[in-house]
Structure 1
Amino acid sequence: MKKIISIPGAPAPIGPYSQAVLKGDTLFVSGQIPLNPVSGELETGSIEEATHRIMKNISALVETAGLRMEDIIKTSIFLKDMSDFATVNTVYASYFTKDFPARETVQVAKLPLDVPVEISCIAIK
């Protein structure tokens, strides 16, 4: 049986998907964009701000599912501009202490709501 996971108090997703799905011990987190779960506003003032918001959203979903950031085993990062790679990488790294997840980072032509970055992940208890 699968369990739908969402950030408490967050607005509904912008499409027909769940923020995250827990199946057994595995959590699948949908691509997160820099959407503030309280205000519903995008936080895209800078690439740092956007990345921090995404990582905070991921952390909230992981914790709501009863897991920890250390349980994340795989992430996917989608960038609108690969020149933001180093900055996103620095912010991303600050959310992990060691044994980083496997990951790929790709540049894409466009992201939902024209955001500069989107990140998804898989975590296992």
Structure 2
Amino acid sequence: MRKKVFVKTEQAPPPLGAYSQAVKVGEWVFISGQLPINPSTSDLASESVAEQAKQAFENLKAILKAAGMNLKNVVKVTLYLRNLEDFPVINKVYEEYFKEALPARSTIQAFPPKGAALEVDAIAYSF
């Protein structure tokens, strides 16, 4: 029987509610939505949409590292954007992080907490 391992790192912001940063089950890691919060200050990274996107992806990377994985292990990403007009800016930042073996992806308009421009969650697999 596979057990759940709760992934936690101080290199990413703590959850805003009753959930884990990520849960690892066997070869799979399910990463909760990451906001563009600087883990050192607990503040939004910036007013800039591009800077917020970078911070959200850096948080994602930190959690993957804590789970023993990296961005190449990501098989699915969901982006939650406050404003769909920000898609081109966020997509450009996304392309800096995901360059090869591109994961499946969905983009949804939503209202992330703290007035953030985006939130990102992911599923990763150790292969």
Find 1:54's aligned residue among 40, 44, 56. 56
- State the TM-score, normalized to the length of structure 2: 0.92
Instruction: Please list, as runs of the form range in 1=range in 2, the aligned pairs for 1:6-85 lying within 5 A after superposition.
Output: 6-8=8-10, 10=12, 12-85=14-87
Tell me the SS of whatever aligns to 1:16: coil
How far the C-alpha of 1:94 sits from its partner, in A, is: 0.5
Kindly tell me the number of residue pairs found equivalent between the two proteins: 124
- State the TM-score, normalized to the length of structure 1: 0.93
How far the C-alpha of 1:112 sits from its partner, in A, is: 1.2
Q: Deviations over 1:66-87 (max 9, x none)?
A: 0111000000001010000010
RMSD: 1.2
Structure 1: segments with no counterpart, 5+ residues: none
- Give the conservation status (yes or no) of the 8 Å contact 2:12–2:63: no
- Give the conservation status (yes or no) of the 8 Å contact 1:7–1:37: no
Indicate the percent of aligned positions where both proteins have the same amino acid.
35
Tell me the SS of whatever aligns to 1:94: helix
How far the C-alpha of 1:7 sits from its partner, in A, is: 2.1
